[in-house]
């Protein structure tokens, strides 16, 4: 893969006086990931979107887009769904499993059926080529506004420094998502929905993996260890407690206290 496709729009310029020390890059506007097989289109969109106040990362393939999503957590993805290495359904599945990020399709396919199929696959908007960059910028801002409004209305549980967004199914520290697998995320959400209550091994196994796993506490132990390590690395505190002879519990606030919920209360 071309290395330049991984770069943000703001290059690592040298500090004044040509000291050879890379300047610190500050991310101010939203980060947009542009995914398209055409290098010329990627360059054009990077320049145009940058002029509108966005930070821009680019990728030329589906797998590179997934890798960049994991590494840089873009605020929105602008993507041609016809990529050389995977189908549009595959890349949407991978993106949704890893990160709840809004997606705008850009495509030369302009029929009503193509647009409906794209939106049915999970795209938040659909823009046809050739692209009017002013219109694309307006659509990006509109999708981000809708997404941020929906996020603000989500039911969130604050557990110390850890925020758990049930609506988007995300775990965040200082507003940034913690990279979790789908299974780790599901396990955390189940624990968080019963915060400060010990959950038995078989209850957790049944809720996360189903009735076929009820008699396999060792399997649960492996996943708890993985999740516990990721949370401790991100938060700096031990979040999941072992309750001897019982199971596991998500400690609401390290050192005691209660969790704080934001948004509509769960029924």
CATH number assigned to the domain comprising residue 241? 1.10.10.10
In this structure, of 44-58, 191-205, 233-247, 249-263, the range with the lowest mean pLDDT score is 249-263
Do 129 and 23 sit in the same domain of this protein?
yes
In this structure, of 65-74, 85-94, 139-148, 248-257, the range with the lowest mean pLDDT score is 248-257
Diameter of the chain measured on Cα atoms: 66
Please tell me the distance from the alpha carbon of residue 70 to that of residue 52, in angstroms, as a whole number: 25
Question: Does residue 176 fall inside a structural domain?
Answer: yes
Flag whether pLDDT at 159 surpasses 80: no
Tell me what pLDDT residue 206 has: 87
Do 104 and 223 sit in the same domain of this protein?
no
- Structural domain range at position 134: 3-152
User: For residue 87, what is the domain's CATH number?
Assistant: 3.40.50.2300
Do 21 and 38 sit in the same domain of this protein?
yes
Do 43 and 122 sit in the same domain of this protein?
yes
Residue 84 is classified by DSSP as: S
Please tell me the distance from the alpha carbon of residue 108 to that of residue 219, in angstroms, as a whole number: 47
pTM over 0.85: no
CA–centroid distance for 185 within its chain: 12
As a three-state string, the secondary structure of 163-196 is EEECCCCEEEECCEECCCCHHHHHHHHHHHCCCC
Do 34 and 81 sit in the same domain of this protein?
yes
Do 191 and 101 sit in the same domain of this protein?
no
Do 147 and 18 sit in the same domain of this protein?
yes
- Domain final residue pick, 152, 172, 207: 152
How many structural domains does the chain have? 2
- Domain final residue pick, 152, 184, 216: 152
Mean pLDDT along residues 95-107: 82
Question: Does residue 267 fall inside a structural domain?
Answer: no
- Domain final residue pick, 152, 173, 202: 152
């Amino acid at each position: 893969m071309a290395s330049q496709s991984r770069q943000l729009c703001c290059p690592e310029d040298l500090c004044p006086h040509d000291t050879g020390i890379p300047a610190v890059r500050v991310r101010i506007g939203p980060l947009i990931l542009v995914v398209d097989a055409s290098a010329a289109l990627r360059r054009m969109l990077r320049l145009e979107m940058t002029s509108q106040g966005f930070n821009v990362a680019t990728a030329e393939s589906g797998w590179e887009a997934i890798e960049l999503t994991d590494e840089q957590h873009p605020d929105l993805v602008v993507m041609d769904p016809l990529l050389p290495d995977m189908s549009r359904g595959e890349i949407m599945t991978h993106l949704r499993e890893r990160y709840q990020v809004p997606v705008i399709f850009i495509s030369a396919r302009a029929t009503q059926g193509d647009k409906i199929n794209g939106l049915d696959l999970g795209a938040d908007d659909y823009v046809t080529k050739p692209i009017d960059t002013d219109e694309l910028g307006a659509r990006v801002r509109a999708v981000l506004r809708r997404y941020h409004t929906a996020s603000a209305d989500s039911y969130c549980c604050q557990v110390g420094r850890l925020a758990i967004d049930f609506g988007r199914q995300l775990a965040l520290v200082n507003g940034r998502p913690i990279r979790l697998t789908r299974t780790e995320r599901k396990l955390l959400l189940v624990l968080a929905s019963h915060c400060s209550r010990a959950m038995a091994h078989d209850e957790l196994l049944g809720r996360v993996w189903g009735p076929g796993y009820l008699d396999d506490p060792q399997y649960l132990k492996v996943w708890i260890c993985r999740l516990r390590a990721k949370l401790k690395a991100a938060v700096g505190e031990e979040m999941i407690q072992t309750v001897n002879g019982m199971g596991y519990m998500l400690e609401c606030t390290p050192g005691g206290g209660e969790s704080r919920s934001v948004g509509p209360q769960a029924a």
